[in-house]
Amino acid sequence: MKNLCIAILGATGAVGTEMLNALNERGIPCDSLRLLAAPVEAGKKILFRDRELTVEGASENSFQGVDILLVAAANEISERFSPLAVQQGAIVIDNSSAYRLDPKVPLVVPEVNPQDIETHSGIIANPNCSTIIAMVAVNPLYRRHRVRRMTVSTYQAVSGAGIRGLQELERQVAAYLRGEALEHETFQHQIAFNVIPHIESFLENGYTKEEMKMHNEGRKILHDDQLTVTCTCARVPVFRSHSEAIQLMFDEEVDVEEARELLRTAPGVKLMDDPAHNVYPMPVDTSNQDLVYVGRIRRDLADRHMLNLWCCGDQIRKGAAVNAIQITQLVIQKYFA
């Protein structure tokens, strides 16, 4: 195998940190690892595999000799640096939304469409966290019985808004217990003991950008322009791990027990579906691990062609960092083995 040089752009953030963890946990071979971040972070020391690495300030010249660049930074940072990295010979795996809907850029969930990495022109995009979680849960059913329509409600943890979201919930809970006023900056309203049906900006059709990601990205990942995904996204006062209620309409009637068996053996899925014994997916159980838990599988009361299910997944790990590292594994096997 070629001596690999991997770089992480945005290495000091929440997703970048989890990428480092996943690189180590999955034993990804890298003879050289470069940690890139904003210039203000330059000089920071990070321990990786018993080596102390020094964070470098990202610049136009940071990508010489890099084989794989993992981007854990904002859209504008990716738009600035990813094309430069490709020009300098790197394959870019981008966690931002900058290139997700670019027709020349594959959008990949390894459990769903791993073959799409072969269509890349230098950049491979990581889907939105809620889309990844939904696709892992839905794909086994979709492949056996084509899905015509999905109706999804997401209950998204505050960590989806980064460290500021976590800190705001912590501050508000502490203020509430002290009987003080609850101030908000990161979210549009108080998040402690509240639910906010508003993630990202609203569009002219009444949906938010976050809600349309599920529709647009889901169709691209499944290569199905006929699929309709109607989504409502809410922010909930949970620290980590997103939850989703999903209704699926199929072309034909689908047996509930068959659906359970398909999910029981599906890659990336853990079936948690025994309501009689209080067994079902919950954010507290799915945090800090990489599987999507699926349960509450039941036939819809209005239409026998519909099934309903509930799923949860860690949006920082499987919904972002780990999905990118799984793509990295595919890239290494395909191009560097």
Kindly list the catalytic residues: 129, 242
Closest by CA to 3, choosing from 41, 27, 26, 31, is: 31
Closest CA to 19 of 254, 332, 282, 325: 325
Evaluate whether 57 touches 39 at the Cβ level (below 8 Å): yes
Q: With 0-12 CB in 10 A as exposed, 13-18 as middle and 19+ as buried, what is 84?
A: middle
Two tokens at 207? 């949906």
Neighbours of 147 (CB within 10 A): 24
DSSP conformation class of 150: E
* DSSP codes, 234-266: EE-S-SS-EEEEEEEEESS---HHHHHHHHHTS
String of DSSP letters for 314-328: -TTIIIIIHHHHHHH
**How far is 243 from 139, CA to CA, in rounded Å?**
17
Six-digit token string for 58: 């990202």
Nearest partner of 111 among 144, 142, 146, 139, judged by Cα: 139
